[in-house]
Chain A
Amino acid sequence: MSNVPDNLRYRDSHEWIDPTQDPSPVGITDHAQAELTDVVFVDPPKVGTQVSAGQQVCVIESVKAASDIYAPVAGEIVAINEALGSDPGLLNRDPYADGWIFKIKPSNPAEFDALMDAAAYGKHIA
């Protein structure tokens, strides 16, 4: 069974965001990494980019396919996880901690409420 931590919020396209941190780290869920398997490249967003909720912001590549990653909320990209450049497999091994992809400074924290909580996401992938 996939791990779905309680403290995170989720998009239906399998990104997670941590609303308890500011800026908020974003990554892909355990379920998503298991579906993708073997992440081999992360094409990160540019720091300083303003994005809207649901905007495609970067691409992660597995051996099989390229997958778009969407911003869960609007805001500014303020950091990217440089470690993924040399070790994209972090997304598979530790999707909720060392495998974070970017951090976003939310412009409208109310948008967190539009995302799924752990229970809803758990149902979504069941």
Chain B
Amino acid sequence: MSDTTPLRRTPLHAVHVEMGARMVPFAGWDMPVQYTGIVDEHKAVRQSVGVFDISHMGQFIVSGTGAEAFLNRVLTNNIAKLQPGQGQYTLLLNGLGGVIDDLIAYRTSEREFYLVVNASRIDADWGHLETQLTKDDDVLMANASDFTAGLAIQGPKAREVAEAVFGSAASFPEHNTILVTMTSDGPMWLCGTGYTGEEGFEFFMPMEAAETWFRKIVDAVKAAGGMPCGLGSRDTLRLEMGYPLNGNDLSEQRTPLQAGLGFFVDLDKGEFTGREALVTQKAAGLPDKLAAFRMTGAAPPPRPHYPVAFAGEIIGEVCSGTQSPSLGGGIGMAYVPLSAATIGSTLEIEIRGRRFPAEVVKKPFYRKPSV
């Protein structure tokens, strides 16, 4: 995207500004990075509840008698396993097995699927799906991204918020499920997912309805002890769970096997785009792997593109990195050769010319304390 392209605004832009948010460019959108502070917002989600504007994300509706077969031909996970109302994390690959996008696919009915994709990849995903579609597929694709707003309500008190705004009789979308409701505002999709590691749901609706719902939900979130949250805490929350961010940790140059996402790839379900490359790579052995690391001493926070060294040699760069508000230290992920990727091995992160030690650790970085 060129610098002269005006940033897009979600229907909640003015409300964010009114609520004191600091706005920053993200994936071509002018989005709130924080309202009060990243650490406060992060802790609100871990301890009570937060609400995020995710209207920048994309939504595709894929329907028809051939929808299941078509999606199983382009996505890595086995979509045939989904009953109506269920969803799964899955990946869209190019012919070389590289990741175009990671997304969540829901089966909303026997012949209809709802895909939620990354904002930065809407055009790439749509273009790719169109090239994969043939006339014989009997599939209808609709891109609802431009008409759809979304809110993510995340945290241990997300149920309390749902009850406050939808009423106690309403169903709560359990993990990896979707509830579609027709209302006077149009269709609403309630999805039992999130990007924080906490219980919660994502709520998609027609743009025109967004402001009313957002204000209502912010009030309920505040009443539950939480606050509206920006993309800053969304990033620290997802990284504490070791969830990848497309563009940082995923790219068309690396496969989901290298990214440690093999669990979401079903090599036995039949042919799909990129499968052959994955089978070949699996047989040959992975050239590198996304490793999670934690800074072991006092160090500046690791940030994307900082060089990573192993046994004295620079072997790669940080993909995602931040200060973990829950752990109080630096955490990050980087592609490193398998010899450097074993749990407990020592890496060095080069920050402004100085190297700071880090240890390869198991994901997630953060585990909820058992009650």
With both beta carbons as reference points, the residue of chain A lying nearest to B329 in the complex is identified as A40
Q: How many residues of A contact B (CB 8 A)?
A: 12
Task: Return B225 CB to nearest CB of chain A, in Å.
Answer: 20
Q: How far is the CB of B324 from chain A (nearest CB, A)?
A: 9
CB distance from B221 to the nearest CB of A (A): 20
The yes or no answer to A43 lying at the interface (CB within 8 A) is: yes
On B, residues with C-beta under 8 Å from A are 33-34, 36-39, 232, 236, 298-301, 303, 322-323, 325, 352
Q: How far is the CA of A105 from the CA of B116 in the complex (A)?
A: 58
| Complex CA–CA separation, A37 to B352 (angstroms) | 22
The answer to whether B303 and A85 have CB atoms under 8 Å apart is no
Answer whether residue A61 sits at the interface, using C-beta atoms and an 8 A cutoff: yes
Contact indicator A63/B300 (Cβ below 8 Å): no
Residue A121 interfacial (CB < 8 Å): no
Q: Please indicate the chain B residues that have their CB under 8 angstroms from the CB of A38 in the complex.
A: 37-39, 325
CB under 8 Å from chain B, chain A span 17-44: 37-38, 40-41, 43
Q: Give residues of chain A (56-89) contacting chain B, Cβ–Cβ below 8 Å.
A: 59, 61-64, 66, 85
Given A41-B323, A61-B301, 5 new contacts (CB under 8 A): A38-B39, A41-B300, A63-B301, A63-B322, A63-B325
Determine if A66 and B300 form an interchain contact, defined as CB atoms under 8 angstroms apart. Answer: yes
User: Which residues of the partner chain A approach B232 to less than 8 Å between Cβ atoms?
Assistant: 63-64
Between A and B, 13 residue pairs with Cβ closer than 8 Å are A37-B38, A38-B325, A40-B323, A62-B38, A63-B39, A63-B301, A63-B323, A63-B325, A64-B33, A64-B38, A64-B232, A66-B300, A85-B298
When C-beta atoms are compared, the residue in chain B nearest to A65 turns out to be: B303
> Do the beta carbons of B301 and A40 come within 8 Å of each other?
yes
Choose from A37, A41, A61, A63 the contact partner of B236 (Cβ within 8 Å).
A63
Mark interface residues in A88-113 (1 if CB within 8 Å of B CB, else 0). 00000000000000000000000000
**What residues of A have a CB within 8 angstroms of the CB of B39 in the complex?**
37-38, 63
State the 4 A-B residue pairs at the shortest beta-carbon distance, nearest first: A37-B37, A38-B39, A40-B323, A63-B38
B322 touches A41 (CB 8 A): no
**For the complex, what is the distance from the CA of A41 to the CA of B322, rounded to whole Å?**
12
Residues in A neighbouring B37, C-beta threshold 8 A: 37-38
Partner of A61, one of B36, B38, B300, B325: B300
Measured CB to CB, the closest approach of chain A to B8, in angstroms, equals 22
Task: List chain B residues, Cβ under 8 A from A85.
Answer: 298
Min CB gap A40→B, angstroms: 4
A61 to B330, CA, bound (A): 11
Rounded to whole angstroms, the CA-CA distance of A64 and B236 in the bound complex is 9
Alpha-carbon distance between A64 and B39 when the two chains are bound, in angstroms:
10
Contact B34–A37 (Cβ < 8 Å): yes
- Residues 3-25 of chain A: 1 if any B CB is under 8 Å from the residue's CB, otherwise 0? 00000000000000000000000
**B31 nearest CB across to chain A (Å):** 13
Q: A66: which B residues are within 8 A, CB to CB?
A: 300, 303
Is the Cβ of A43 less than 8 Å from the Cβ of B323? no
B231 to chain A, nearest CB (A): 10
User: Which residues of chain A are within 8 angstroms of B301 by Cβ–Cβ distance?
Assistant: 40-41, 61, 63
**Cβ contact within 8 Å between A43 and B38:** no
Q: How close is A95's CB to chain B, nearest CB, in angstroms? A: 15
Docked Cα-Cα span, A38 to B41, in Å, equals: 11
Cα of A3 to Cα of B303 in the assembled complex, Å: 31
Q: How far is the CA of A41 from the CA of B328 in the complex (A)?
A: 11
User: Could you say which of B236, B300, B322, B325 contacts A43, with CB atoms under 8 Å apart?
Assistant: B300
CA distance A61 to B34 in the complex (A): 16
Task: Please tell me which one of the listed residues B33, B34, B299, B325 contacts residue A41 in the complex, with CB atoms under 8 A apart.
Answer: B299
Nearest CB of A to B132, in Å: 39
CB distance from B237 to the nearest CB of A (A): 12
Q: Closest residue of chain B to A38, judged by CB?
A: B39
Q: Which residues from chain B contact A63 at a C-beta distance below 8 Å? A: 38-39, 232, 236, 301, 322-323, 325
> Which residue of chain A lies nearest to B37 when distances are taken between CB atoms in the complex?
A37
> Which residue of the partner chain A has the closest CB to B351?
A43
**A92 nearest CB across to chain B (Å):** 9
A36 to B50, CA, bound (A): 21
